[in-house]
Structure 1
């Protein structure tokens, strides 16, 4: 009988200890008040599509279309003299035309993380404060000048739906 009571007390003690430790571990994690304040001061800024010409030998070879988004400190951004979108566009022109961060001839060498870091550092240097916390790349496209001049054959865009008359052979139309 004493063994039975001892076993019951042992099981009860282990059950109470396991419930206590599981509740202790499941309690809400401690919140870093400073980190919470910094996160609350941030806002998401959606960028504009910026078209940057790619200049090569003989003129413009194509266009880079970029759209970036940012996590910015709302208070510091509001204090800036130049509006955020215009300064961001200027910095992108500096990076993509002046420093040539993206080499369209060798796209395999493009490092997206380095690009984000350079954009963030450049913007914060221009602002004179840590305004930009993160840079998000929404879009980076390259269009050649040939595809801009005559986009239909290269992109396969359907311009008209329905019945389209067949083109006449070159001999019947005058041989131009």
Structure 2
């Protein structure tokens, strides 16, 4: 009876010890990753733009519309010092790029190169400021509505 009780206590201690060892070994890595991620985004603000509607013209006719909304990251301390916020520049650059785009596929709009659009917007806005103000541009909404899908009034 005493041997059975001793084996039970021994098994419990081994199980608790191995669990503690496993948690202490893996817990440090997660904490380091969490600290690195928090440092990467420290001080950055995500700001959302208003929606823009861009008419897409091809063959001298409006083929449809793109409705888009963007999010950009900016250092919070830098944003407080700016007299003109980046949002108008982000929207202006997005409108110019989309409106003048020659490579938009009206039959397959999902093939549009959004990565290059985001990079071009970021680079152009930062060139206007003469410094790296906008760190990243993201897409919050990007919809293509063919003209034949819009309701006509009249």
TM-score (norm 1): 0.60
Query: 2:65 is matched with which residue: 58, 63, 66?
Result: 63
- Can you list the C-alpha shifts for 1:58-113, whole angstroms capped at 9, x where unaligned? 35443322122233332333444432221111111221123446332442532344
Query: 1:43 is matched with which residue: 42, 45, 49?
Result: 45
Give the distance between the partners of 1:109 and 1:23, measured in 2 at CA.
Answer: 46
Structure 2: gaps (5+ residues): none
RMSD: 3.8
Q: Larger relative contact order (C-alpha < 8 A, sep ≥ 6)?
A: 2
Aligned residues: 151
Cα shift at 1:151: 5.5
Q: Relative to total residues, which structure has the larger helix share, 1 or 2?
A: 2
Larger radius of gyration: 1
Give the distance between the partners of 1:82 and 1:100, measured in 2 at CA.
Answer: 31
Structure 1: gaps (5+ residues): 153-176
Q: Conserved in 1, the CA contact under 8 Å of 2:46 and 2:71?
A: yes
Give the distance between the partners of 1:70 and 1:39, measured in 2 at CA.
Answer: 13
TM-score (norm 2): 0.66
SS in 1 for 2:104: coil
Query: 1:102 is matched with which residue: 101, 104, 115?
Result: 104
